Amino acid sequence: MFPEILWAVPPAAVSVPVGAAVWRNWSPASWNYGPGLVGNAARVHLTWADVSSGCGLTKTRTRLGKGGRRQVERKPKLSRFRPTGYGFRVRVRLHDGQTPGDYAQALTRLAHSWRVHAVRVRRTGPGWVELVATSRDPLVNLGAASAFDGELLTVQLGRLETGEPWVVDFRQVPHWLDIGATQSGKSTDVNALIKGLSPQPVALAGLDLKGGVELTPYEDRISKLATTRDECGGLLDDLIGILTDRMALCRTHRMRNVWKLPEDVREQHAMPIVVFVDEVAELYLMADKSEKDVIAKTSTTLLRIAQLGRAFAVYLVVCGQRVGSDLGPGVTALRSQLSGRICHRVNDAETAKMALGDLAPDSLEAALSIPAEMPGVAVTVGADGRWHRARSFLTTEEEAEQAAREFAHLAPSWDALTTASGAPSSISDAELADFLDGAA
């Protein structure tokens, strides 16, 4: 009668009767395979007509019968009921004229109807959305961080609300935008990244216009740290030079990116570089008109690094309290190149919209509902293009500083990085431009 219910459970549980008794005894505390899951699936399907009607998700249509015309409500179709570690997820087919926003407005009512902690909505493709229900908030108590033995350029920040590890993988998502108010968790993210990247064969660089107070504790592991506007301009120019040299190196070997180079060549001449930009707004704020040209050049250079970095192993982590269009068009252009997003608690809806609105507009309600008493909670968009609620493990400044000191010997000198191309200097600008067009 309900094939979706039977498909959602293992064969050993199929024999459990799906009926009124199971339905009445259903409890949101029971999410394991077996009777609890069957009752859960039964409740969702058996009550869906009333629930969808009460939430305003049905569509009225006219039918002709013996008694003449009558109005009937047609419920949306449910599909793919699946259990998760903290609840369940189910796909819903949209009626014509419906959007994921219609479901976003009904999430609170759906949560009450299904007796769960929360329901989230995700886009899954044209005409469909996925509703993800959690029986309790799995981000309240994360517990201790589990051991993580990731590959090069991967760091575990915390845990997703699905129970899976929250991992930043620069090979998959090269550039990240991390936005949040004071005490929301941005610094913890940076601490975790510093701690996780320090033991790896990776160079670190930083732009810190807050006088260096944020990144100076880790300078033992940072190859280059810029703390003034002029120093930031010089560091960015150096990065453009490194990118240009790596373009020439790849062209010499007839490869489109550094990851296709022979391993010994890549390790010697193209070490990955992760660049931390702390409080990005400071790069764009203008004290007087004399700084206009400097800011414009900085904006253009940073944008170019974001556009080219993936192919040539230069990655950005851009942090700030806000990233609004009021800072200028350069910020908006840069944001479009930062495909990884982390939005902690913010002070206004516009900041959340700027952080997530272009990639996951249906996540804004979740981002704006992050409570102040849960630092580290964020909405993130990563490699799969979906948004998730997540929370970072508490990584203290002392832990990150200790890792920076312990692995200081792995930090290459900046001079070595800027002269390590191994590419012939005879390649012309025109040849590099041709290669650049192909790589882009």
Q: Per DSSP, which regions of 161-212 are E strands?
A: 165-169, 175-179, 203-208
Please say whether the beta carbons of 225 and 216 come within 8 A: yes
CA dihedral 79, 3, 37, 57 (to 10 degrees): 30
Annotated binding site: 180-187
Please say whether the beta carbons of 162 and 117 come within 8 A: no
Annotated binding site for ATP: 180-187
Q: Strands 87-93, 78-84: parallel, antiparallel or unpaired by DSSP?
A: antiparallel
First CA to last CA distance, the chain: 53
Please say whether the beta carbons of 305 and 315 come within 8 A: no
Please say whether the beta carbons of 218 and 401 come within 8 A: yes
Q: Which of 281, 283, 361, 270 is nearest to 309 (CA)?
A: 270
Order across the sheet with 78-84: list the strands: 78-84, 87-93, 128-134, 118-125
Cα 163 off chain centre by: 16
Structure tokens at 235: 């560091």
Alpha carbon distance 336, 396 (integer Å) = 31
Handedness of CA 285, 291, 292, 297 (dihedral sign): negative
